[in-house]
Chain A
Amino acid sequence: MCYSAYGRRIGIRVNRSEVLDRLVHRLPAGWKPAPSPVVDHLYSIWMGGEGPRTHVRRYHLVYSDGMQVARTLDPEEALEAFESAQHFYVAEAARNRLFVHAGVVGWRDRAIVIPGRSLTGKTTLVAALVRAGATYYSDEYAVLDARGRVHPYPTPLSMREAGADRPRKVPAAALGGTAGLRPLPVGLVLVTQYRAGSRWRPRPLSAGQAALALLANTVAARRRPAAALATLRRIASGASGIRGPRGEADAVAPAILNLGRAGARPCRPPA
């Protein structure tokens, strides 16, 4: 199977054709079948399982361009490894788009972008914002074009729960929300992370600080610094920025949306 996404052609080969049906919903947003068998990147998935003889373990294997990404007895884990590797490849190699590790929601024709490393509580906050009425764009990547607009990347939210082996995939509809369909200009850059018991007292970010916060989470920052800086400068010039630790997501979500209601003001140097 060959497909294209964000200007890259990607191939998948499997040892069992029925596996392809299980992969389709794991492909990146906006993928299209590609007619040509010539690809930029190739994934190979070998599904093991029951062997011809008893007491023989056959691993499920995933390779990304010849490099082993997973070797596991759990088929779901193998498919998740493929999904993660493929999203990462697209994020790093995309043409004409810049991927920033961030949660994104739409609110009043503007996007609220929450850049941050993993496990800082982005998905929890995005889910709370969606429950509070925002439109879901992504809990993983802010996909930016050269004009500084955010495009939807609405993969199901990856909710981590205490004690669970792996994150639970939750579609926006299950939170009572909808997924965005059209690109939005960025209205707010929000740098925050969960800290138990914190009061929500955000401080303004200057435009430069907002741009640095986005760059610190840009997947292709080192690969395409000129394009990244130009795009982020454009965003920072037109958006406001705030930072500060937050407490429980559901408690701060209305306050964040209220900031959006007041209208985006360009970032200014902090007083």
Chain B
Amino acid sequence: MTHPRARRDDLVVQDLPEETLVYDVARHRAHCLNRTAALVWRRCDGRTSVAELARCVGRETGLPPDEEVVWMALDRLSKANLLENRIQPPKGAPRSRREVLKKLGAVAGLAVVLPAVQSIEAPMAAQAASPITMVACQQAPQAHAGKCCMDTSPRRICVNVGGVGMCAGGLC
């Protein structure tokens, strides 16, 4: 896929001076795109080629107009499900920041402008609530499922298994 297209549906987007926040309503994941990643994402209209994207990134960020940088951004955006289709970087393309930095050479400040996407899973309401006791989880599993049990070691999430409450979910 050399003409990537950005996803536009089911997304909430907010721009910061140097970054872009994206909330994926379908997957309940939130992403923070740095300036370079956001620039590539905005230009992915299905008509612009990777080579053109590289020239654009070079103009706007001062990075070398190298396709490797664009492939890196597309890889990050694809993993965050922010493109219409999954992309597969060409064979031999550097995948990690370290590899890209090595290829582009050590330039001051380069690491900061390389494309980056940070992601989190939005919490379910119960996950952002106060913790409960194991007894409360057992007594009222429907009400407390998803909350953190404070008195288990390690602390685990209260789960409702067929009406029985157990502090046996993931670590919290």
* Residues on A with beta carbons closer than 8 Å to the beta carbon of B17: 207, 237, 266
Q: Interface digits, B87-129 against A, CB 8 Å rule (1 contact, 0 not)? A: 0000000000000000000000000100000101011111111
**Chain A stretch 242-271: residues in CB contact (< 8 A) with chain B:** 266, 268-271
* A contact patch SS: mixed
- Residue in B20, B112, B118, B128 whose CB lies within 8 Å of A217: B128
- Residue in A220, A228, A229, A269 whose CB lies within 8 Å of B18: A269
CB distance from A195 to the nearest CB of B (A): 16
Given contacts A219-B125, A222-B28, A229-B14, contact A208 B148 (CB under 8 A): no
CA distance A115 to B42 in the complex (A): 31
Which bucket holds chain A's interface residue count? 35 or more
- Structural contact, B21 and A225, CB atoms closer than 8 A: no
Q: Please name the residue on chain B nearest to A223 by beta carbon.
A: B125
* Residues on B with beta carbons closer than 8 Å to the beta carbon of A226: 12, 23
Question: Which of A4-12, A29-37, A63-71, A145-153 makes up part of the contact surface?
Answer: A63-71
Q: Does B56 contact A (CB under 8 A)?
A: no
* Residues on B with beta carbons closer than 8 Å to the beta carbon of A223: 125
- Structural contact, A119 and B155, CB atoms closer than 8 A: yes
Q: Does A72 contact B (CB under 8 A)?
A: yes
CB distance from A240 to the nearest CB of B (A): 13
- Structural contact, B128 and A84, CB atoms closer than 8 A: no
Q: Interface digits, B123-158 against A, CB 8 Å rule (1 contact, 0 not)? A: 111111111100110011011100010100001000
Given contacts A64-B143, A68-B142, A268-B18, contact A81 B150 (CB under 8 A): no
* Residues on B with beta carbons closer than 8 Å to the beta carbon of A2: none
Q: Does A138 contact B (CB under 8 A)?
A: no
* Residues on A with beta carbons closer than 8 Å to the beta carbon of B18: 206-208, 268-269
CA distance A84 to B147 in the complex (A): 12
* Residues on A with beta carbons closer than 8 Å to the beta carbon of B164: none
- Structural contact, A101 and B128, CB atoms closer than 8 A: yes
* Residues on A with beta carbons closer than 8 Å to the beta carbon of B16: 207-208, 211, 233, 236-237
- Structural contact, A221 and B123, CB atoms closer than 8 A: yes
Q: Does B34 contact A (CB under 8 A)?
A: yes
**Chain B stretch 1-34: residues in CB contact (< 8 A) with chain A:** 12, 14-21, 23, 25, 28, 30, 32-34
CB distance from A163 to the nearest CB of B (A): 12
Q: Does B172 contact A (CB under 8 A)?
A: yes
- Structural contact, A208 and B136, CB atoms closer than 8 A: no
- Structural contact, A225 and B122, CB atoms closer than 8 A: yes
CB distance from B140 to the nearest CB of A (A): 5
* Residues on A with beta carbons closer than 8 Å to the beta carbon of B139: 68, 70-72
User: Which 9 pairs of residues, A with B, have the shortest CB-CB distance?
Assistant: A208-B32, A208-B19, A221-B122, A118-B131, A233-B14, A225-B23, A219-B128, A101-B128, A92-B125
Apart from A119-B131, A225-B28, A271-B112, what are 18 other A-B pairs with CB-CB below 8 Å? A70-B136, A72-B135, A81-B140, A101-B130, A118-B130, A118-B148, A206-B34, A207-B17, A208-B33, A211-B16, A217-B128, A218-B123, A219-B123, A220-B125, A221-B28, A229-B14, A229-B21, A269-B112
**Residues of chain B at the chain A interface (Cβ within 8 Å):** 12, 14-21, 23, 25, 28, 30, 32-34, 112, 118, 120, 122-132, 135-136, 139-140, 142-144, 148, 150, 155, 172
11 contacts between A and B (CB under 8 A): A71-B139, A84-B130, A84-B132, A85-B143, A88-B129, A117-B127, A208-B33, A217-B123, A228-B23, A229-B21, A237-B16
